[in-house]
Amino acid sequence: MKNRYDCSKCPGYCCSYDQIEVSEHDIKRLAKHLDLTPEVAKKRYIKIDEGKTVLRHHKDEHYTSMCVFFDREARRCTVYEARPHPCRTYPYGATCGYYDFLKFEREHQGDDEFVATTR
């Protein structure tokens, strides 16, 4: 099944999800990628939110907050090779609803860089 979206043309909407849940395996992969121990990686980049182990966030001009590993200037993931399982499998199919929405808005705005917010 061929993807009908291009993450490189998206400003990272999925990275703005409040709870990007991570497993112990994800934490170990991130720690190795960052040359840290899993314990240090947890302290720096992980928090417990509503009983779930999730990635921390930082403020963002477009979506209120983004994953701590998101580069807000380049609008790209800084740990793409080591990204957690939910990020690897998103959007769970050949299409991405946000990408379709963004593509439509950019065409109608006449602006290939337009960032469509949903909040």
- Taking the complete model, does pTM exceed 0.75, yes or no? yes
pLDDT tens-digit profile of 32-48? 999 999 999 999 999 99
Q: What are the φ and ψ backbone dihedral angles of 48, each rounded to 5 degrees?
A: -100, 125
Report the mean per-residue pLDDT for the chain.
93
pLDDT at 7: 87
pLDDT at 118: 63
Rg (CA), the chain: 15
Beta carbons within 10 angstroms of residue 82's beta carbon: 18
